Homo-oligomer: A and B are copies of this chain.
Amino acid sequence: MARIVQKYGGTSVGDVERIRKVAERIKLTRDQGNEVVVVVSARSGVTNELLARAKSLCDEPSDRELDMLLSVGEQETIALTAMALHGMGVDAVSRTGAQAGIFTDKVHTRAKIQAIKSETIEKDLAEGHVVIVAGFQGINEDGQITTFGRGGSDLTAIAMAAAIHADKCEIYTDVDGVYTADPRVVTDACKLSELSYDEMLELASSGTKVMQSRSVEFAKKHNVVFEVRSSFNFNPGTIVKEEVSYMEKVVVRGVSVDKDQAKVIVSNILDKPGTSAKVFRALADANVLVDMIVQNVGRQGIANLTFTVPQGDSQSAVKLLEPVLDEIGGGQIAIHEHVAKLSVVGVGMKTHSGVAATVFQALADNEINIDLISTSEIKISIVIDQDRADEAARVTHAAFELDKIGD
């Protein structure tokens, strides 16, 4: 007997027929003698429907009311999933985020989990129930409903797996696992059977939409081994864990493209201590996620600061920075929204020479212009023109012969 957490995303529970299929899979896991905790998202489309209604009533709905509104999506799914299991004779009980003991901070729409008080879930399991937990949501100390933002249900699953010391955590989605590149763009992309947290993190933050970084970070921090797999078939997926044993020669594990990027250029600012801090403090306070940051210092202590943010945040970034520029003594702001980020990811990349050179050569051979470059231990990211992004992924994938490393 194992203790298993399964998470089903919005497309997996998109309608009653799919919910029934999910229930069948849960029943199978239960019938094998396992304890099962299931985390579900809202039916795909529901969140957008609710948001459309909200926007038609109020230009800028308050975060608190958005959480009140959006949390109903998962609440519907947990009840329906529990009912589907009942219909199959399986003991099951649904739990809202609050009932599951998921406590968060007070930041609405982007709440962070502070603690999971798992007494109720443990009791449910001890009584023989399959427990269906609403993903994406929690409760704060004031009794307010909070939500976690995009990818929130993955976070619920990973955090729940950590809290109840699950033996396995399975993230069911609409793809078979993590690929060396987006198979819709790079047709010969291969599925990876294993991946380290760090590689998954870099892939996630680089636009591979399988999971959000925060969930992978949480898994890494709490050492939760998880498997990304499809709810539509029984193929093995990709297992993500701390240590992965690769063949020596495999360095680059994947190529990804993130088109939801805007480049913000803050130019002609005084290069003195504290200037950058003020800029990024203002963005951080407003929860704007800054990705790549590049700074050049030019003539006479005048600096140019360039960074990327999600496209939806670029306008508010400008609004936030205008008063900061006044404070730090002037400068100009410009946005380029038509960019994309290409990332090449692999543990041990730094110790293998030539990875960067191979990328740059592949792009140069195809006359794709490089705008910004940023590197980490296991990743090289390059900002390029959005229109060339898919082509860039294909030529880079080919340059590293990634069609040959999968399973």
| Chain B proximity of A184: nearest CB distance (Å) | 31
Within 272-312 of A, Cβ neighbours of B (below 8 Å) are at: none
A82 proximal to B (CB < 8 A): yes
CA A62 to CA B84, docked complex, whole Å: 11
Within 68-89 of A, Cβ neighbours of B (below 8 Å) are at: 68-69, 71-72, 75-76, 78-80, 82-84, 86-87
* B69:A72 contact, CB within 8 angstroms: no
CA A75 to CA B53, docked complex, whole Å: 14
| Chain B proximity of A179: nearest CB distance (Å) | 33
| Chain B proximity of A80: nearest CB distance (Å) | 6
In the assembled complex, which residues on chain B have CB atoms less than 8 Å from the CB atom of A78?
68
CA A59 to CA B88, docked complex, whole Å: 10
Interface residues on A, range: 35 or more
A364 proximal to B (CB < 8 A): no
* B79:A65 contact, CB within 8 angstroms: yes
* A86:B72 contact, CB within 8 angstroms: no
* B75:A16 contact, CB within 8 angstroms: no
| Chain B proximity of A211: nearest CB distance (Å) | 27
| Chain B proximity of A120: nearest CB distance (Å) | 8
The interface bits of chain A over 74-115 (1 if a CB of B lies within 8 angstroms of the residue's CB, else 0) are 011011101110110000011010110000000000000000
* B71:A83 contact, CB within 8 angstroms: no
In the assembled complex, which residues on chain B have CB atoms less than 8 Å from the CB atom of A20?
57
Give the top 4 A-B pairs by smallest Cβ distance, nearest first: A69-B79, A58-B87, A72-B72, A58-B83
* A86:B69 contact, CB within 8 angstroms: no
CA A282 to CA B99, docked complex, whole Å: 34
Asked, given contacts A53-B16, A99-B143, whether A86 binds B58 with beta carbons under 8 Å apart, the answer is yes
Extra pairs beyond A20-B57, A53-B80, A68-B94 (18, CB < 8 Å): A23-B57, A54-B79, A54-B80, A57-B83, A58-B83, A59-B87, A61-B86, A62-B86, A64-B93, A65-B79, A65-B82, A65-B83, A65-B86, A68-B75, A68-B78, A71-B75, A72-B75, A75-B75
